[in-house]
Amino acid sequence: MKPLEILQKNHDLHLHSRDYSDGKHTMLETARYAARYQQNPRWVGISDHSGSIIQRLMRAGKLPGGHEHGYPDDFSGYTERVREVDETLKGDGLRVLAGIEQEWGIGGPRNIPQELSQLDYIITAYHQRRLTTPYALETYYYEMACHPTSDIAAHPGWFTGCADPAAIPWQKIFRDLADHAVLCEYNLTTPLPPAAFEIAVNTRNLIFTIGSDLHDFRQNSTLRICSAWSETNGGGFSAARGYLNDLVNLTFPAQPARELQSTFASIDLLTDLESRLYNYSLGRSTAEVAFSALEWKLVQYLDQLPWYELDDRFIQTRLARFADLPEERIASLLPIADFLALIARNRRARASR
């Protein structure tokens, strides 16, 4: 498949909203934006963080205090909201599934399968744990893959505190996912390193989804620089730098362009800029974040640029990695009924083990 074809066929399953999670836009806005490239039939999935649902319900007075570390008896409020968005967008030819990104704690997920029965799919992730050794990562993925509620393994290229990333046993991790019928997410925000991706595509019966992990599309500078930084995280700094250079060259003559390009001329500079810009996007002031005059000039310039074809091409550089992969190995390319049937079939396979 050509990258553009993948882009037009892919149905984003990893989306966060402000309704129940840490996204910056409503479910309605998020779903519409996530489907901007899709050709018919169009569908996406909302997958807000499970812990944020509790906090939201507590703030709304729908749960008493003291439930910060537990889950409600059901997710009816969240699921009903997604179903309302789905009903609203049907007239536009866009369907919306109800998913969730459940947090995996030290003892596993705190919810039980019956609590999640209303949801169409479940993405399992960890964020607050520090997995500091390859063995800890291997153990997490094995335990997660064995759990009946794990439909999709979130961003396997994302980890915290690992002392030796090169020593991560990717063969074992991907084999466990495939053996337990757990889909492997290729996360466009934190893509798999090239060596790990090569192992993944050569793992028999491993099925992928392609998700954006979208939180905020409001600020072009945040989106573009964070997107470029995530490409360096996957080993592609030259592609990231080329993309940002091209953006700067759209307007500026050579000398001002070179000055702006100096703010992201190395991986370290880009990583540092991305971190501060991300904090700024969360609402912190420029004084708190401390941009240099030149960096702030770059941020303001990128925010003023409209959406360009250049951005689409940059996304396609990542999707090109799937060009030789059979279409049936990317579950997020499926029609909505076939995707739901796959999730149901995989759950039965895990339950029978």
- Name the CA dihedral angle for 256, 257, 261, 263, rounded to a multiple of 10 degrees: 30
CB 232 within 8 Å of CB 194: no
Q: Which residue has the higher pLDDT, 307 or 225?
A: 225
The model's pTM = 0.85
The sign one gets for the Cα dihedral 192, 194, 196, 199 is positive
| One-character DSSP codes across 259-275 | HHHGGGSSHHHHHHHHH
Q: For residue 86, what pLDDT band results from cuts at 50, 70 and 90? A: very high
Tell me: the pLDDT tens digits for 294-326? Answer: 999 999 999 888 888 888 888 888 899 999 999
In the chain, the domains with their CATH numbers are 3-216+323-351 (3.20.20.140), 220-313 (no CATH)
Measured CA to CA, the distance from residue 245 to residue 225 in angstroms comes to: 11
Measured CA to CA, the distance from residue 150 to residue 155 in angstroms comes to: 13
pLDDT at position 67, please?
37
In the predicted model, is pLDDT for residue 55 greater than 70? Answer: no
Tell me: the pLDDT tens digits for 103-154? Answer: 887 778 766 556 677 899 999 998 777 788 888 899 999 999 999 889 999 9
Q: For residue 68, what pLDDT band results from cuts at 50, 70 and 90? A: very low
Tell me: the pLDDT tens digits for 200-217? Answer: 999 999 999 999 998 887
In the predicted model, is pLDDT for residue 72 greater than 50? Answer: no
Lowest mean pLDDT among 7-21, 86-100, 108-122: 108-122
CB 121 within 8 Å of CB 99: yes
Rounded to the nearest integer, the mean pLDDT of the chain is 86
Closest CA to 299 of 281, 323, 324: 281
| One-character DSSP codes across 22-54 | S-SS-HHHHHHHHTTTPPSSEEEEEEEEHHHHH
What SS3 class is residue 174? helix
